[in-house]
Chain A
Protein backbone atom coordinates (compact mmCIF):
# COMPACT_ATOMS: atom_id res chain seq x y z
CA UNK A 1 0.00 0.00 0.00
CA UNK A 2 1.19 3.46 -0.86
CA UNK A 3 1.09 5.89 2.00
CA UNK A 4 -1.05 8.86 1.13
CA UNK A 5 1.15 11.89 1.34
CA UNK A 6 -1.68 14.27 0.58
CA UNK A 7 -5.12 13.51 1.89
CA UNK A 8 -8.08 14.18 -0.33
CA UNK A 9 -9.35 16.80 2.10
CA UNK A 10 -6.03 18.61 2.08
CA UNK A 11 -5.91 18.42 -1.71
CA UNK A 12 -9.37 19.92 -2.08
CA UNK A 13 -8.70 22.67 0.46
CA UNK A 14 -5.30 23.33 -1.07
CA UNK A 15 -6.75 23.62 -4.56
CA UNK A 16 -9.46 25.97 -3.33
CA UNK A 17 -7.13 28.30 -1.49
CA UNK A 18 -4.66 28.25 -4.39
CA UNK A 19 -7.57 29.12 -6.68
CA UNK A 20 -8.53 31.98 -4.38
CA UNK A 21 -4.99 33.29 -4.39
CA UNK A 22 -4.80 33.10 -8.18
CA UNK A 23 -8.13 34.93 -8.47
CA UNK A 24 -6.96 37.67 -6.12
CA UNK A 25 -3.78 37.86 -8.20
CA UNK A 26 -5.82 38.18 -11.40
CA UNK A 27 -7.93 40.96 -9.85
CA UNK A 28 -4.72 42.82 -8.98
CA UNK A 29 -3.22 42.11 -12.38
CA UNK A 30 -6.33 43.43 -14.15
CA UNK A 31 -6.07 46.67 -12.16
CA UNK A 32 -2.36 47.06 -12.84
CA UNK A 33 -1.90 49.97 -15.25
CA UNK A 34 0.72 48.31 -17.43
CA UNK A 35 -1.16 45.03 -17.68
CA UNK A 36 -4.44 46.86 -18.37
CA UNK A 37 -2.64 48.59 -21.24
CA UNK A 38 -1.60 45.19 -22.60
CA UNK A 39 -5.19 43.91 -22.41
CA UNK A 40 -6.39 47.10 -24.12
CA UNK A 41 -4.14 46.19 -27.03
CA UNK A 42 -6.87 43.91 -28.32
CA UNK A 43 -9.12 46.95 -28.86
CA UNK A 44 -6.64 48.36 -31.40
CA UNK A 45 -6.52 44.95 -33.06
CA UNK A 46 -10.32 44.83 -33.24
CA UNK A 47 -10.54 48.38 -34.58
CA UNK A 48 -7.78 47.90 -37.15
CA UNK A 49 -9.10 44.49 -38.17
CA UNK A 50 -12.70 45.57 -38.56
CA UNK A 51 -11.74 48.80 -40.33
CA UNK A 52 -10.03 46.79 -43.05
CA UNK A 53 -13.56 46.01 -44.15
CA UNK A 54 -15.77 48.67 -42.56
CA UNK A 55 -15.59 51.94 -44.49
CA UNK A 56 -17.63 55.12 -44.27
CA UNK A 57 -19.82 53.99 -47.15
CA UNK A 58 -20.16 50.23 -46.65
CA UNK A 59 -21.17 47.71 -45.52
CA UNK A 60 -24.55 48.55 -44.03
CA UNK A 61 -25.79 46.91 -40.87
CA UNK A 62 -28.61 44.44 -41.49
CA UNK A 63 -32.01 46.13 -41.73
CA UNK A 64 -35.02 44.15 -40.54
CA UNK A 65 -38.72 44.14 -41.37
CA UNK A 66 -41.48 45.76 -39.32
CA UNK A 67 -42.57 42.35 -38.01
CA UNK A 68 -39.16 41.98 -36.29
CA UNK A 69 -39.56 45.13 -34.18
CA UNK A 70 -39.35 44.42 -30.43
CA UNK A 71 -42.68 44.91 -28.68
CA UNK A 72 -40.85 46.30 -25.67
CA UNK A 73 -37.56 48.05 -26.41
CA UNK A 74 -35.57 48.24 -23.21
CA UNK A 75 -34.61 51.78 -22.24
CA UNK A 76 -31.18 51.68 -20.63
CA UNK A 77 -29.08 54.25 -18.83
CA UNK A 78 -30.89 57.51 -18.18
CA UNK A 79 -34.63 57.33 -18.83
CA UNK A 80 -35.45 60.93 -17.84
CA UNK A 81 -32.72 63.55 -17.45
CA UNK A 82 -32.79 65.69 -14.32
CA UNK A 83 -32.36 69.41 -14.27
CA UNK A 84 -34.57 72.40 -14.93
CA UNK A 85 -33.09 73.09 -18.34
CA UNK A 86 -34.11 69.74 -19.78
CA UNK A 87 -37.45 69.74 -17.95
CA UNK A 88 -38.34 73.12 -19.43
CA UNK A 89 -37.36 71.97 -22.90
CA UNK A 90 -39.50 68.86 -22.53
CA UNK A 91 -42.50 70.86 -21.28
CA UNK A 92 -42.69 72.68 -24.60
CA UNK A 93 -42.06 69.51 -26.64
CA UNK A 94 -38.56 70.80 -27.34
CA UNK A 95 -39.84 73.78 -29.33
CA UNK A 96 -37.05 75.88 -27.79
CA UNK A 97 -34.36 73.23 -28.17
CA UNK A 98 -31.63 73.66 -30.77
CA UNK A 99 -28.89 71.28 -31.85
CA UNK A 100 -25.57 73.12 -31.97
CA UNK A 101 -22.78 71.97 -34.27
CA UNK A 102 -19.50 73.72 -33.58
CA UNK A 103 -15.84 73.17 -32.83
CA UNK A 104 -13.58 72.54 -35.83
CA UNK A 105 -16.12 73.62 -38.44
CA UNK A 106 -16.08 76.43 -41.00
CA UNK A 107 -19.65 77.43 -40.25
CA UNK A 108 -20.98 76.80 -36.73
CA UNK A 109 -24.68 76.08 -37.11
CA UNK A 110 -27.70 75.25 -34.99
CA UNK A 111 -30.98 73.64 -35.93
CA UNK A 112 -34.39 73.46 -34.29
CA UNK A 113 -36.29 70.18 -34.16
CA UNK A 114 -38.67 71.49 -36.85
CA UNK A 115 -35.74 72.33 -39.12
CA UNK A 116 -34.25 68.86 -38.63
CA UNK A 117 -37.59 67.22 -39.43
CA UNK A 118 -37.83 69.25 -42.65
CA UNK A 119 -34.51 67.87 -43.90
CA UNK A 120 -34.19 64.70 -46.03
CA UNK A 121 -34.71 61.76 -43.67
CA UNK A 122 -33.65 58.16 -43.45
CA UNK A 123 -35.70 55.41 -41.79
CA UNK A 124 -34.07 52.14 -40.78
CA UNK A 125 -35.10 49.08 -38.77
CA UNK A 126 -31.99 47.88 -37.00
CA UNK A 127 -30.83 45.67 -34.17
CA UNK A 128 -29.60 47.46 -31.08
CA UNK A 129 -26.95 45.41 -29.27
CA UNK A 130 -26.28 46.36 -25.70
CA UNK A 131 -22.84 45.78 -24.20
CA UNK A 132 -24.65 43.79 -21.49
CA UNK A 133 -25.60 41.15 -24.05
CA UNK A 134 -29.23 41.77 -24.99
CA UNK A 135 -30.58 42.88 -28.38
CA UNK A 136 -33.72 44.78 -29.34
CA UNK A 137 -35.01 45.77 -32.77
CA UNK A 138 -36.43 49.19 -33.44
CA UNK A 139 -37.24 51.55 -36.29
CA UNK A 140 -35.42 54.85 -36.33
CA UNK A 141 -36.05 57.95 -38.41
CA UNK A 142 -33.71 60.90 -38.56
CA UNK A 143 -31.30 63.05 -40.52
CA UNK A 144 -28.09 61.55 -41.78
CA UNK A 145 -25.22 62.97 -39.77
CA UNK A 146 -23.25 63.47 -43.00
CA UNK A 147 -25.99 65.86 -44.20
CA UNK A 148 -25.60 67.98 -41.07
CA UNK A 149 -21.82 67.91 -41.27
CA UNK A 150 -21.92 69.12 -44.86
CA UNK A 151 -23.91 72.15 -43.66
CA UNK A 152 -21.34 72.96 -40.97
CA UNK A 153 -18.35 72.12 -43.20
CA UNK A 154 -15.72 70.33 -41.17
CA UNK A 155 -12.22 71.74 -41.04
CA UNK A 156 -9.55 69.37 -42.40
CA UNK A 157 -8.12 68.75 -38.92
CA UNK A 158 -11.46 67.57 -37.48
CA UNK A 159 -10.92 63.92 -36.51
CA UNK A 160 -13.73 63.16 -34.09
CA UNK A 161 -17.23 64.29 -33.28
CA UNK A 162 -18.10 64.69 -29.61
CA UNK A 163 -21.77 64.44 -28.69
CA UNK A 164 -22.73 66.46 -25.61
CA UNK A 165 -25.84 65.20 -23.86
CA UNK A 166 -28.36 66.54 -21.37
CA UNK A 167 -28.31 63.56 -19.03
CA UNK A 168 -26.10 63.32 -16.00
CA UNK A 169 -25.82 59.64 -15.15
CA UNK A 170 -24.04 60.36 -11.89
CA UNK A 171 -26.45 63.20 -10.99
CA UNK A 172 -23.33 65.26 -10.34
CA UNK A 173 -23.60 68.93 -9.39
CA UNK A 174 -20.55 69.99 -11.40
CA UNK A 175 -21.50 68.28 -14.65
CA UNK A 176 -18.72 65.68 -14.38
CA UNK A 177 -21.33 62.96 -14.82
CA UNK A 178 -22.79 64.41 -18.02
CA UNK A 179 -23.08 61.80 -20.74
CA UNK A 180 -20.96 62.30 -23.79
CA UNK A 181 -19.73 60.13 -26.62
CA UNK A 182 -17.41 60.37 -29.59
CA UNK A 183 -17.06 58.73 -32.99
CA UNK A 184 -14.61 59.18 -35.82
CA UNK A 185 -15.31 60.24 -39.40
CA UNK A 186 -15.58 56.68 -40.74
CA UNK A 187 -18.71 56.17 -38.68
CA UNK A 188 -19.83 59.81 -38.89
CA UNK A 189 -20.23 59.68 -42.68
CA UNK A 190 -21.73 56.17 -42.78
CA UNK A 191 -25.19 56.30 -44.43
CA UNK A 192 -26.86 54.60 -41.44
CA UNK A 193 -25.39 57.05 -38.95
CA UNK A 194 -28.35 59.29 -38.25
CA UNK A 195 -29.56 61.75 -35.66
CA UNK A 196 -32.91 60.16 -34.88
CA UNK A 197 -35.99 62.11 -33.79
CA UNK A 198 -38.51 59.30 -34.26
CA UNK A 199 -38.73 55.70 -33.09
CA UNK A 200 -41.15 53.08 -34.39
CA UNK A 201 -43.03 55.81 -36.30
CA UNK A 202 -43.61 57.94 -33.19
CA UNK A 203 -41.85 61.00 -31.82
CA UNK A 204 -38.75 59.78 -29.99
CA UNK A 205 -39.87 59.06 -26.39
CA UNK A 206 -37.99 60.65 -23.50
CA UNK A 207 -36.72 57.29 -22.20
CA UNK A 208 -35.09 56.67 -25.59
CA UNK A 209 -33.39 60.06 -25.80
CA UNK A 210 -35.82 62.80 -26.89
CA UNK A 211 -35.50 65.06 -28.68
CA UNK A 212 -32.55 63.61 -30.60
CA UNK A 213 -30.30 60.57 -30.29
CA UNK A 214 -27.40 59.23 -32.28
CA UNK A 215 -27.60 55.91 -34.14
CA UNK A 216 -24.25 54.26 -35.03
CA UNK A 217 -25.49 50.91 -36.25
CA UNK A 218 -22.18 49.04 -36.47
CA UNK A 219 -21.33 49.58 -32.82
CA UNK A 220 -22.83 48.76 -29.40
CA UNK A 221 -25.64 50.68 -27.74
CA UNK A 222 -23.57 52.82 -25.41
CA UNK A 223 -22.10 54.68 -28.40
CA UNK A 224 -25.58 55.87 -29.38
CA UNK A 225 -25.82 58.94 -27.18
CA UNK A 226 -29.32 60.05 -26.14
CA UNK A 227 -30.53 63.62 -25.35
CA UNK A 228 -27.94 65.15 -27.71
CA UNK A 229 -27.61 68.91 -27.28
CA UNK A 230 -24.41 69.69 -29.13
CA UNK A 231 -22.06 68.13 -31.65
CA UNK A 232 -18.47 69.31 -31.39
CA UNK A 233 -15.84 68.59 -34.03
CA UNK A 234 -12.43 68.06 -32.41
CA UNK A 235 -8.99 66.80 -33.35
CA UNK A 236 -8.44 65.12 -29.99
CA UNK A 237 -10.66 64.15 -27.04
CA UNK A 238 -7.97 63.57 -24.42
CA UNK A 239 -8.86 66.83 -22.65
CA UNK A 240 -12.59 66.08 -22.49
CA UNK A 241 -14.05 64.31 -19.47
CA UNK A 242 -11.52 61.77 -18.23
CA UNK A 243 -10.00 61.68 -21.70
CA UNK A 244 -11.19 58.34 -23.05
CA UNK A 245 -13.81 59.67 -25.46
CA UNK A 246 -17.06 58.96 -23.65
CA UNK A 247 -18.91 58.47 -20.39
CA UNK A 248 -18.54 54.68 -20.41
CA UNK A 249 -15.11 54.81 -22.01
CA UNK A 250 -13.99 56.89 -19.01
CA UNK A 251 -15.26 53.99 -16.88
CA UNK A 252 -13.26 51.27 -18.59
CA UNK A 253 -15.28 50.38 -21.69
CA UNK A 254 -13.72 50.34 -25.14
CA UNK A 255 -13.88 53.45 -27.29
CA UNK A 256 -14.33 51.21 -30.31
CA UNK A 257 -17.49 49.26 -29.54
CA UNK A 258 -17.73 47.26 -32.76
CA UNK A 259 -17.42 44.08 -30.74
Chain B
Protein backbone atom coordinates (compact mmCIF):
# COMPACT_ATOMS: atom_id res chain seq x y z
CA UNK B 1 0.00 0.00 0.00
CA UNK B 2 1.37 3.37 -1.02
CA UNK B 3 1.26 5.57 2.00
CA UNK B 4 1.86 9.24 1.49
CA UNK B 5 3.62 10.38 4.63
CA UNK B 6 2.97 14.03 3.91
CA UNK B 7 -0.74 13.43 4.00
CA UNK B 8 -0.59 11.73 7.36
CA UNK B 9 0.20 15.03 9.01
CA UNK B 10 -3.15 16.48 8.01
CA UNK B 11 -5.20 13.32 8.20
CA UNK B 12 -6.79 12.49 11.57
CA UNK B 13 -4.34 10.86 13.95
CA UNK B 14 -3.80 7.24 13.08
CA UNK B 15 -5.75 7.42 9.82
CA UNK B 16 -4.58 5.28 6.97
CA UNK B 17 -4.11 7.08 3.67
CA UNK B 18 -3.47 5.90 0.13
CA UNK B 19 -3.71 7.18 -3.39
CA UNK B 20 -5.57 5.76 -6.36
CA UNK B 21 -3.86 5.32 -9.70
CA UNK B 22 -5.40 8.59 -10.81
CA UNK B 23 -3.81 10.29 -7.85
CA UNK B 24 -6.98 10.72 -5.80
CA UNK B 25 -6.40 10.65 -2.07
CA UNK B 26 -8.21 7.89 -0.21
CA UNK B 27 -8.49 7.74 3.55
CA UNK B 28 -9.64 4.77 5.60
CA UNK B 29 -12.66 6.39 7.16
CA UNK B 30 -14.86 3.70 8.69
CA UNK B 31 -13.57 0.71 10.61
CA UNK B 32 -15.00 -2.74 9.93
CA UNK B 33 -17.00 -2.78 13.15
CA UNK B 34 -18.57 0.61 12.46
CA UNK B 35 -19.51 -0.47 8.93
CA UNK B 36 -20.90 -3.79 10.08
CA UNK B 37 -22.95 -2.37 12.96
CA UNK B 38 -24.17 0.44 10.68
CA UNK B 39 -25.65 -1.87 8.05
CA UNK B 40 -27.07 -4.26 10.63
CA UNK B 41 -28.68 -1.24 12.23
CA UNK B 42 -30.26 -0.26 8.90
CA UNK B 43 -31.92 -3.66 8.71
CA UNK B 44 -32.87 -3.85 12.39
CA UNK B 45 -34.32 -0.34 12.56
CA UNK B 46 -36.34 -0.90 9.39
CA UNK B 47 -37.89 -4.06 10.82
CA UNK B 48 -38.46 -2.39 14.20
CA UNK B 49 -40.08 0.64 12.58
CA UNK B 50 -42.44 -1.36 10.39
CA UNK B 51 -43.39 -3.90 13.06
CA UNK B 52 -43.76 -0.96 15.46
CA UNK B 53 -46.32 0.65 13.17
CA UNK B 54 -48.17 -2.69 13.10
CA UNK B 55 -48.27 -2.64 16.91
CA UNK B 56 -49.35 1.02 16.93
CA UNK B 57 -52.28 0.13 14.66
CA UNK B 58 -53.76 -2.02 17.45
CA UNK B 59 -54.40 1.18 19.44
CA UNK B 60 -53.97 4.10 17.07
CA UNK B 61 -53.89 6.72 19.80
CA UNK B 62 -51.18 8.33 21.90
CA UNK B 63 -51.80 9.51 25.45
CA UNK B 64 -49.88 11.36 28.11
CA UNK B 65 -49.49 10.13 31.70
CA UNK B 66 -49.72 6.81 33.49
CA UNK B 67 -52.92 5.60 31.83
CA UNK B 68 -54.99 6.08 28.70
CA UNK B 69 -57.52 4.19 26.61
CA UNK B 70 -60.27 5.07 24.17
CA UNK B 71 -62.21 7.00 26.81
CA UNK B 72 -59.20 9.17 27.67
CA UNK B 73 -57.91 12.25 25.83
CA UNK B 74 -55.37 11.58 23.10
CA UNK B 75 -52.47 13.71 21.88
CA UNK B 76 -52.61 12.00 18.53
CA UNK B 77 -55.09 9.63 17.00
CA UNK B 78 -55.67 8.12 13.59
CA UNK B 79 -59.12 6.79 12.80
CA UNK B 80 -61.69 6.03 10.14
CA UNK B 81 -64.99 7.86 10.19
CA UNK B 82 -67.92 6.11 8.53
CA UNK B 83 -70.09 8.26 6.30
CA UNK B 84 -73.84 7.97 5.80
CA UNK B 85 -73.13 7.92 2.09
CA UNK B 86 -69.89 7.17 0.34
CA UNK B 87 -66.64 5.70 1.59
CA UNK B 88 -65.27 6.37 5.09
CA UNK B 89 -62.86 9.23 5.76
CA UNK B 90 -59.43 8.73 7.32
CA UNK B 91 -58.46 11.31 9.94
CA UNK B 92 -55.21 12.19 11.64
CA UNK B 93 -55.87 14.23 14.74
CA UNK B 94 -53.01 15.97 16.55
CA UNK B 95 -54.24 17.88 19.58
CA UNK B 96 -57.34 19.64 18.29
CA UNK B 97 -56.13 19.88 14.68
CA UNK B 98 -57.73 17.40 12.28
CA UNK B 99 -56.33 16.43 8.88
CA UNK B 100 -58.09 14.42 6.21
CA UNK B 101 -55.60 11.67 5.41
CA UNK B 102 -57.88 9.36 3.43
CA UNK B 103 -55.77 7.09 1.25
CA UNK B 104 -52.72 7.41 3.50
CA UNK B 105 -53.74 7.07 7.13
CA UNK B 106 -56.93 5.80 8.74
CA UNK B 107 -58.51 4.66 5.48
CA UNK B 108 -56.57 3.29 2.52
CA UNK B 109 -56.78 0.71 -0.20
CA UNK B 110 -55.12 -2.51 0.90
CA UNK B 111 -53.01 -4.63 -1.41
CA UNK B 112 -56.07 -6.19 -3.06
CA UNK B 113 -57.70 -2.82 -3.66
CA UNK B 114 -60.26 -3.06 -0.86
CA UNK B 115 -60.81 -0.11 1.46
CA UNK B 116 -59.27 -0.81 4.83
CA UNK B 117 -59.82 1.09 8.06
CA UNK B 118 -56.48 0.77 9.79
CA UNK B 119 -54.17 3.59 10.89
CA UNK B 120 -50.90 2.99 9.02
CA UNK B 121 -51.25 1.45 5.55
CA UNK B 122 -50.10 -2.06 4.62
CA UNK B 123 -46.97 -0.95 2.81
CA UNK B 124 -45.33 0.45 5.95
CA UNK B 125 -46.31 -2.29 8.40
CA UNK B 126 -44.79 -5.68 9.12
CA UNK B 127 -46.49 -7.97 8.38
CA UNK B 128 -48.39 -6.07 5.68
CA UNK B 129 -51.72 -7.52 6.83
CA UNK B 130 -53.14 -6.83 10.27
CA UNK B 131 -51.57 -9.08 12.92
CA UNK B 132 -50.60 -7.67 16.27
CA UNK B 133 -49.27 -11.07 17.37
CA UNK B 134 -46.88 -11.37 14.40
CA UNK B 135 -45.89 -7.71 14.64
CA UNK B 136 -44.92 -8.22 18.28
CA UNK B 137 -42.80 -11.28 17.45
CA UNK B 138 -40.86 -9.41 14.78
CA UNK B 139 -40.50 -6.39 17.06
CA UNK B 140 -39.21 -8.16 20.16
CA UNK B 141 -36.83 -10.43 18.29
CA UNK B 142 -35.28 -7.55 16.39
CA UNK B 143 -35.27 -5.39 19.52
CA UNK B 144 -32.84 -7.89 21.05
CA UNK B 145 -30.67 -7.83 17.92
CA UNK B 146 -30.79 -4.04 17.85
CA UNK B 147 -29.78 -3.80 21.52
CA UNK B 148 -26.88 -6.26 21.15
CA UNK B 149 -25.69 -4.54 17.98
CA UNK B 150 -25.88 -1.16 19.70
CA UNK B 151 -23.98 -2.50 22.69
CA UNK B 152 -21.19 -3.85 20.47
CA UNK B 153 -20.97 -0.47 18.74
CA UNK B 154 -20.88 1.46 22.02
CA UNK B 155 -18.21 -0.75 23.59
CA UNK B 156 -16.11 -0.51 20.44
CA UNK B 157 -16.70 3.23 20.10
CA UNK B 158 -15.29 3.98 23.52
CA UNK B 159 -12.58 1.29 23.56
CA UNK B 160 -11.18 2.17 20.13
CA UNK B 161 -11.58 5.89 20.94
CA UNK B 162 -13.82 6.30 17.88
CA UNK B 163 -16.20 8.52 19.85
CA UNK B 164 -13.48 10.58 21.48
CA UNK B 165 -11.56 10.97 18.20
CA UNK B 166 -14.28 11.29 15.57
CA UNK B 167 -17.51 12.35 17.30
CA UNK B 168 -16.51 14.65 20.17
CA UNK B 169 -16.63 18.25 18.90
CA UNK B 170 -13.34 20.13 19.33
CA UNK B 171 -12.93 23.76 20.34
CA UNK B 172 -12.43 24.65 16.68
CA UNK B 173 -15.66 22.83 15.88
CA UNK B 174 -17.64 24.84 18.42
CA UNK B 175 -16.20 28.13 17.15
CA UNK B 176 -17.07 27.18 13.57
CA UNK B 177 -20.66 26.19 14.29
CA UNK B 178 -22.10 29.35 12.72
CA UNK B 179 -20.20 28.80 9.49
CA UNK B 180 -21.19 25.13 9.47
CA UNK B 181 -24.86 26.07 9.69
CA UNK B 182 -24.46 28.47 6.75
CA UNK B 183 -22.60 25.76 4.76
CA UNK B 184 -25.41 23.31 5.39
CA UNK B 185 -28.05 25.79 4.32
CA UNK B 186 -26.09 26.39 1.10
CA UNK B 187 -25.66 22.59 0.64
CA UNK B 188 -21.92 23.24 0.51
CA UNK B 189 -19.85 20.18 1.33
CA UNK B 190 -16.34 20.44 2.73
CA UNK B 191 -13.34 19.63 0.59
CA UNK B 192 -9.70 18.84 1.28
CA UNK B 193 -8.64 18.36 4.89
CA UNK B 194 -12.02 19.39 6.22
CA UNK B 195 -13.68 16.52 4.36
CA UNK B 196 -11.52 14.11 6.34
CA UNK B 197 -13.46 14.64 9.53
CA UNK B 198 -17.10 15.01 10.40
CA UNK B 199 -18.32 18.61 10.49
CA UNK B 200 -19.68 19.92 13.77
CA UNK B 201 -23.38 19.63 12.91
CA UNK B 202 -22.77 16.11 11.70
CA UNK B 203 -20.97 15.26 14.95
CA UNK B 204 -23.75 16.73 17.09
CA UNK B 205 -26.40 14.92 15.08
CA UNK B 206 -24.62 11.58 15.38
CA UNK B 207 -24.13 12.15 19.11
CA UNK B 208 -27.84 12.95 19.50
CA UNK B 209 -28.85 9.83 17.59
CA UNK B 210 -26.31 7.46 19.16
CA UNK B 211 -26.47 8.66 22.76
CA UNK B 212 -29.98 10.06 23.07
CA UNK B 213 -32.43 8.89 20.42
CA UNK B 214 -31.52 5.21 20.11
CA UNK B 215 -31.09 4.58 23.86
CA UNK B 216 -34.38 6.44 24.37
CA UNK B 217 -36.07 3.95 22.05
CA UNK B 218 -34.89 1.06 24.22
CA UNK B 219 -35.74 2.74 27.52
CA UNK B 220 -39.22 3.91 26.48
CA UNK B 221 -39.75 0.52 24.85
CA UNK B 222 -39.04 -1.51 27.96
CA UNK B 223 -41.03 1.01 30.05
CA UNK B 224 -44.11 -0.47 28.40
CA UNK B 225 -43.35 -3.93 29.83
CA UNK B 226 -45.45 -4.64 32.93
CA UNK B 227 -42.80 -7.12 34.09
CA UNK B 228 -39.97 -4.60 33.85
CA UNK B 229 -42.15 -1.86 35.37
CA UNK B 230 -42.64 -3.99 38.48
CA UNK B 231 -38.87 -4.40 38.96
CA UNK B 232 -38.08 -0.77 38.09
CA UNK B 233 -41.07 1.41 38.94
CA UNK B 234 -38.84 4.46 38.44
CA UNK B 235 -38.39 3.66 34.76
CA UNK B 236 -41.84 4.60 33.43
CA UNK B 237 -41.87 7.44 35.99
CA UNK B 238 -38.81 8.85 34.25
CA UNK B 239 -40.98 9.52 31.20
CA UNK B 240 -44.13 10.54 33.08
CA UNK B 241 -45.81 7.13 33.06
CA UNK B 242 -46.33 4.17 30.76
CA UNK B 243 -48.52 5.98 28.26
CA UNK B 244 -46.12 8.94 28.09
CA UNK B 245 -43.32 6.44 27.49
CA UNK B 246 -45.35 4.98 24.62
CA UNK B 247 -45.85 8.47 23.18
CA UNK B 248 -42.14 9.31 23.50
CA UNK B 249 -41.33 5.95 21.88
CA UNK B 250 -43.41 7.05 18.89
CA UNK B 251 -41.94 10.58 18.77
CA UNK B 252 -38.36 9.29 19.03
CA UNK B 253 -39.10 6.79 16.23
CA UNK B 254 -40.41 9.66 14.11
CA UNK B 255 -37.21 11.61 14.80
CA UNK B 256 -35.18 8.59 13.68
CA UNK B 257 -37.15 8.59 10.42
CA UNK B 258 -36.43 12.31 10.06
CA UNK B 259 -32.74 11.65 10.72
CA UNK B 260 -32.64 8.89 8.11
CA UNK B 261 -34.26 11.16 5.51
CA UNK B 262 -31.71 13.94 6.11
CA UNK B 263 -28.86 11.42 6.38
CA UNK B 264 -29.70 9.79 3.04
CA UNK B 265 -30.23 13.22 1.44
CA UNK B 266 -26.78 14.32 2.62
CA UNK B 267 -25.25 11.12 1.24
CA UNK B 268 -26.86 11.82 -2.13
CA UNK B 269 -25.66 15.44 -2.09
CA UNK B 270 -22.14 14.65 -0.90
CA UNK B 271 -21.62 12.01 -3.59
CA UNK B 272 -23.46 8.75 -3.32
CA UNK B 273 -20.72 6.58 -4.86
CA UNK B 274 -17.96 7.81 -2.58
CA UNK B 275 -20.13 7.76 0.54
CA UNK B 276 -21.44 4.27 -0.16
CA UNK B 277 -17.93 3.02 -0.92
CA UNK B 278 -16.64 4.39 2.35
CA UNK B 279 -19.48 2.79 4.32
CA UNK B 280 -18.97 -0.55 2.54
CA UNK B 281 -15.18 -0.79 2.08
CA UNK B 282 -14.08 1.87 4.53
CA UNK B 283 -12.20 3.92 1.93
CA UNK B 284 -13.27 7.50 1.32
CA UNK B 285 -11.96 9.71 -1.49
CA UNK B 286 -11.15 13.21 -0.35
CA UNK B 287 -12.22 15.88 -2.78
CA UNK B 288 -9.33 18.25 -3.36
CA UNK B 289 -9.58 21.87 -2.30
CA UNK B 290 -11.09 24.09 -4.95
CA UNK B 291 -8.43 25.40 -7.33
CA UNK B 292 -5.91 22.65 -6.63
CA UNK B 293 -5.27 19.88 -9.11
CA UNK B 294 -5.53 16.37 -7.69
Contact = CB atoms under 8 A, between A and B. Distances in A.
Interface of A: 19-20, 23-24, 26-27, 30, 36, 38-43, 45-46, 50, 53-54, 59-62, 64, 68, 70-74, 127, 129-137, 217-220, 248, 251-254, 257-259
Given A137-B67, A218-B230, A248-B133, 13 more contacts: A30-B138, A36-B137, A42-B137, A53-B231, A54-B231, A70-B69, A127-B67, A134-B243, A136-B67, A218-B226, A253-B136, A259-B222, A259-B228
A27 B59 contact: no
Which 9 A-B residue pairs are closest in the complex by CB-CB distance?
A258-B227, A252-B133, A133-B59, A72-B71, A134-B69, A132-B58, A259-B225, A42-B141, A39-B137
B144 interface: yes
A129 B126 CA distance: 23
Interface in B201-248: 222, 224-231, 233, 242-243, 246
A41 B141 CA distance: 7
Contact of A70 (B67, B122, B138, B143): B67
A54 B230 contact: yes
B197 to A, nearest CB: 29
A59 B230 contact: yes
Contacts, number: 137
A70 B72 contact: yes
Contacts of B133: 248, 251-253
A39 B141 contact: yes
Contacts of A68: 66-67
Contact of B231 (A38, A39, A59, A134): A59
B128 interface: yes
Interface residues of B, number: 43
Interface in B50-92: 55-56, 58-59, 61, 63, 66-72
B226 A129 contact: yes
Nearest to A223: B226
**Main SS of chain B's interface residues?**
helix
A195 to B, nearest CB: 19
Given A39-B141, A60-B230, A219-B226, A71 B71 contact: yes
B193 interface: no
A141 to B, nearest CB: 20
Contacts of A59: 230-231
Interface in B81-129: 122-123, 126-129
A132 B141 contact: no
B140 interface: yes
A61 B230 contact: yes
